[in-house]
Amino acid sequence: MRPRQILAPLLLSGLGALAAASPAAAQPTGAFMTLDRADHESRAGLFFGLLHIEDTDLDEGAARIELNGQYVAPSGFGGYFSAPIHQLYIDDGDDETALGGIEVGGLMAREVALGQELALHVGVVLPTAQGDDFEEVIANVAGVQSRLTDLVQAIPETSTLRLGGSFLGSVPGLVYRFDGGMDVPLLTTDDDGDVAHDPILRLNGAVGLGMGPGTLSFELINLFATGNEDASFSDSTLTNAGVSLGVALAGVRLQGGLFLSVDSVFEDDTGEGLITFALAGAKSW
């Protein structure tokens, strides 16, 4: 059974908790599906994303399964990790599974005002993203589309420095988060490869409307490639936008979302943006 055949009932059952849940703690401040995750909470989570592309050899799509987590001490300092696996589903062909770039790093979260905090993180994507075969490269690039802000986790056999800062907070009935960051490829383990050290800039934002124990969120991801002076602004930009629903009860957060890649690396082949579906769960303590 393909993941997209089981995604719909999973999404509906997960989001059904919004209606069935009794009033409890709202979604943790600034917790969104496709933005950075650094904040004051310690948590472990699982993310599942599914990409579908019509009218191409990738008609069956691609999936991302990611284990992630972070620990934050009372001082506000901590560490985090992200370990993705991507799978490619080819119509009338063999499926392909590829390990993405595992990311590890440190973070700091500080409350700057009541209900408002600043979170900084610095990390390294290890050169674990597989790329010996062309299908492995496509699996990683297609699979990461459901978390476009982590695009560098798809660069084959390359270590990348990641720097980021976020301002997040809440007011009654509203949560929000704004991210800025820079990803710089450093080294490759491919003897025949070469690394362009041109930074990729990230500028993301999201707002969420509180609905009892749940939140309806609107998210926007923007990546800007540098290094090509001849490229137009639109040719150097990737954008992903969408909506998500989340519910948080007793330290457990469940989320589901629908996102559209307005500018996509596959757009020339499809003529249209990409649609991705996502589910996520996390336990905080």
Q: How far apart are alpha carbons 253 and 241 in whole angstroms?
A: 21
Residue 115 has pLDDT above 80, yes or no: yes
Given a contact cutoff of 8 angstroms between Cβ atoms, the answer to whether 33 and 217 are in contact is yes
pLDDT value at residue 270? 46
- Which range is least confidently modeled, 79-93, 146-160, 257-271? 257-271
Domain boundaries defined on the chain? 3-284
Taking Cα atoms as reference points, which of 157, 197, 213, 205 lies closest to residue 181? 205
Strand positions, DSSP E, 126-213: 158-171, 174-188, 200-211
Task: Kindly report, residue by residue over 119-159, the tens digit of the pLDDT.
Answer: 999 999 999 999 888 889 999 999 999 999 999 999 999 99
Q: Which CATH number fits domain 3-284: 2.60.120.260, 3.40.250.10, 2.40.160.40, 3.40.50.2000?
A: 2.40.160.40
Q: What is the per-residue pLDDT across 219-255, written as a single tens digit (0 to 9) for each?
A: 999 999 998 887 777 778 999 999 999 998 888 999 9
Q: Provide the whole-model pTM.
A: 0.85
